[in-house]
């Protein structure tokens, strides 16, 4: 099977990136990371990518807090294209995705979110789950559209909320589920379509 070329975008510590990179190294995911991009120059994800000798670039986000400036998004598209990226993987990317990137990769941008969407979209979903008294939460991989955490759901993994959970404990449990789910979903997206029975 041809190796799927990934572009990973993240703003944070990069544990999902690491899980994907580890799955590739272990041979359980036939893919290749073409480039890692971050809007945060000091992010863990860029440091982890550089440790692995992967191409890692900071994209200066510009003046907005919740999205890239149009020029920055155009640069992101150019970098992804130049790296031959086929699937854009958001892994802790904290900005909305707008037209230039969406149009360049139609149905080829995915995100992971720490709740069972459509429940608890937005920031710190694990805290929202605790505050709501949910007994179960989890994580969701979905296609990205112009909305926030609203694109078509691809897969979910359930995680129990346990008595005595703190936000930190619950988030750590959800992240373990994320690290298993994300590489698995990418593997499935690259699998040839199932053959119909004759
Ligand atoms: C994850 O919990 C993910 O669901 C959310 O941001 C977090 C990123 O964590 N979108 P990491 O940077 O991959 O460790």
How far is it, in rounded angstroms, from Cα 152 to Cα 191?
19
Q: Which of 19, 42, 91, 141 to mutate to test the pocket of ligand 1 (most atoms within 8 A of CB)?
A: 91
Q: Is 110 in the pocket of ligand 1 (CB under 6 A)?
A: no
Rounded CA separation 92/11 (Å)? 6
Q: Quote the pLDDT of residue 194.
A: 55
- Please tell me the predicted confidence (pLDDT) of residue 191: 83
Whether the per-residue pLDDT at 153 is higher than 60: the answer is yes
pTM: 0.95
Q: What are phi and psi of 66, to 5 degrees?
A: -105, 0
- Answer whether 15 contacts ligand 1 (Cβ < 6 A): yes
Q: pLDDT tens across 96-147, in order?
A: 999 999 999 999 999 999 999 999 999 999 999 999 999 999 999 999 999 8
Q: Is the CB of 142 under 6 A from ligand 1?
A: no
The ligand 1 atom nearest the CA atom of 174: 2
Determine the atom of ligand 1 nearest the C-alpha atom of 171: 2
Cβ atoms 89, 9 nearer than 8 A = yes
Tell me: pLDDT of 196 over 70. Answer: no
Ligand 1 centroid, distance to 198 Cα (angstroms):
43
Token digits for 161? 């909320």
What is the rounded CA–CA span in Å between residue 103 and residue 77? 10
Give yes or no for residue 198 having a pLDDT over 90: no
Give dist(CA 170, CA 138) in Å, integer.
9
Q: What is the pLDDT of residue 135?
A: 97
Mutation test residue for ligand 1: of 14, 15, 16, the one with most atoms within 8 Å of CB = 16
Q: By alpha-carbon position, which residue is closest to atom 12 of ligand 1?
A: 14
Instruction: Write the CB contacts of 103 (distance below 8 Å, at least 6 apart in sequence).
Output: none
The per-residue pLDDT of the chain, averaged, comes to: 95
Is 113 near ligand 1, meaning CB less than 6 Å away? yes
CA–centroid distance, residue 182 to ligand 1 (Å): 11
d(Cα 16, Cα 50) in Å, to the nearest integer? Answer: 15
CB-ligand 1 contact for 138 (6 Å cutoff): no
Q: What is the pLDDT of residue 178?
A: 98
pLDDT digit string, tens, across residues 11-43? 999 999 999 999 999 999 999 999 999 999 999
Active site residue 171: no
pLDDT tens across 43-69, in order?
A: 999 999 999 999 999 999 999 999 999
Whether the per-residue pLDDT at 195 is higher than 90: the answer is: no
Measured from the Cβ of residue 128, the count of other Cβ atoms closer than 10 Å reads 18
């Amino acid at each position: 099977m041809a190796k799927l070329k990934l572009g990973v975008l993240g703003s944070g510590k990069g544990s999902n990136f690491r899980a994907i990179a580890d799955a590739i190294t272990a041979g359980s995911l036939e893919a290749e990371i073409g480039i890692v991009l971050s809007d945060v120059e000091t992010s863990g994800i860029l440091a982890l990518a550089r440790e692995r000798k992967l191409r890692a670039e900071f994209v200066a986000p510009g003046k907005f807090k919740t999205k890239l400036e149009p020029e920055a998004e155009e640069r992101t598209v150019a970098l992804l294209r130049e790296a031959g990226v086929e699937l854009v993987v958001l892994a802790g990317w904290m900005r909305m995705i707008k037209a230039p990137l969406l149009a360049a990769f139609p149905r080829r941008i995915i995100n992971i979110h720490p709740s069972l969407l459509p429940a608890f979209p937005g920031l710190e979903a694990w805290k929202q789950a605790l505050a709501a008294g949910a007994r179960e939460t989890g994580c969701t991989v979905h296609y990205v559209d112009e909305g926030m955490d609203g694109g078509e759901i691809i897969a979910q993994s359930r995680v129990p909320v346990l008595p005595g959970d703190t936000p930190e404990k619950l988030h750590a449990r959800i992240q373990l589920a994320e690290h298993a789910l994300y590489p698995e979903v990418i593997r499935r997206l690259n699998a040839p379509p199932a053959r119909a029975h004759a």
